[in-house]
Chains A and B, each alone.
Chain A
Amino acid sequence: MNATVKPGFNPSRRRFLAGAGGLTFCVAIGSDGIHLLSEAQANTASRTMSAWVRIAPDGMVTILSAGAEMGQGSMTSLPLILAEEMDADWSKVAIEWAPADAAVYGYAMNNGRAMAIVGSRAVMLYFNQLRLAGAQVRKVLIANAAEKWGVAPASLRTEPGFVVDPASGQRMSYGEIAGFGAVPAELPAVDKSELKDRRQFRLIGKSVPRRDIPAKVNGTAQYAIDVRLPGMVYATARHSPVHGGAPESWNEDKAKSMRGVIGTVRLPDGVAVIADSLPHAMAARGALEVTWKEGRAEGFDSEKALAETYVQVHADPSAKRRTLDSKGDAQAAFASAAKTYKSEYRSDYGYHAQMEPLNAVARFSAAGDHVEIWEGTQAPDVSRGRIAKALGFKPGQVTLHQCYMGGGFGRRTLGDYASEAALIAREARRPVKLVWTREEDMAHGMFRPQSFQCLEAALDPDGKVTGWTHCVVGDGGVLLATGIKIPYYQVPHQHIEARGVPHGVRLKHWRAVGHVFNVFAIESFVDEMAAAQGMDPVDFRFQRMSISPRARAVFEKAVQMSDWKARRPEGRAVGISISERSGSLGAGVAEISLDRATGRIRVHKAWVAIDGGLVVQPEAARANIESGIVYGLSSVLHERVTLKGGVVEQSNFHDYHVERMADVPEEMHVAFVERDAAPSGLGEIGNPWVAAAVANAFYRLTGKRLRHMPFTPARVLEALQA
Chain B
Amino acid sequence: MQVSVNGRSHEVNVEPDTPLLWVLRDVLGLTGTKYGCGISACGACTVHVNGEPVRSCSMPVAQVEGKRVTTIEGLSRDSSHPLQKAWVAEQVPQCGYCQSGQIMQAAALLAKNPKPSRGEIVRHMNGNICRCGTYNRIIASIQRASREG
Q: Which residues of A contact B (CB under 8 A)?
A: 1, 4, 70-73, 209-210, 212-223, 225-226, 228, 234, 259, 277-279, 282, 353-357, 404-409, 435, 437-439, 619-620, 623-624, 626-631, 634, 652-654, 658-662, 664-666, 668
Contacts and interface: CB of A to CB of B under 8 A. Distances in A.
Contacts of A654: 39, 41
Contact of A661 (B25, B103, B125, B132): B125
A659 B98 CA distance: 14
24 contacts: A71-B93, A71-B94, A73-B94, A209-B88, A212-B93, A214-B88, A218-B32, A218-B72, A219-B31, A219-B100, A220-B32, A355-B44, A355-B95, A356-B34, A407-B131, A407-B132, A627-B133, A634-B133, A652-B38, A653-B129, A658-B131, A659-B133, A661-B122, A662-B126
Contacts of A220: 32
Contacts of A212: 93, 96
A404 B41 contact: no
Nearest to B118: A666
Interface string B115-133: 0000001110111111111
Which applies to chain A's interface (DSSP): helix, strand, loop or mixed? loop
Interface in B1-27: 14-15, 18-19, 22, 25-26
Contacts of A404: 95-96
B22 A217 contact: no
Contacts of B143: none
**Most interface-central of B26, B97, B100, B123 (chain A CB within 10 A):** B97
7 shortest interchain CB distances as A-B pairs: A219-B32, A630-B133, A406-B97, A71-B94, A216-B96, A71-B95, A226-B31
Contacts of B19: 279
Contacts of A438: 36-39
Contacts of B127: 660
Contact of B103 (A73, A217, A353, A620): A217
Which applies to chain B's interface (DSSP): helix, strand, loop or mixed? loop
A626 B37 CA distance: 24
B137 interface: yes
B131 A219 contact: no
Contacts of B34: 223, 225, 355-356, 406
Contact of A216 (B93, B125, B137): B93
B30 interface: yes
B131 A623 contact: no
Contacts of A661: 121-122, 125-126, 128, 130, 135, 138-139
Interface residues of B, number: 59
Contact of A664 (B31, B97, B136): B136
B149 to A, nearest CB: 17
Contact of B99 (A72, A216, A279, A409): A216
Nearest to A352: B131
Given A219-B71, A354-B95, A634-B133, A228 B31 contact: yes
A662 B122 contact: yes
Interface in B57-114: 71-73, 75-76, 79, 84, 87-88, 91-100, 103
B95 A437 contact: no
Contact of A668 (B30, B42, B122, B136): B136
Contact of B30 (A210, A214, A219): A219
Contacts of A620: 91
Given A282-B38, A438-B36, A662-B122, 7 more contacts: A4-B29, A71-B132, A214-B88, A217-B93, A407-B95, A627-B132, A664-B135
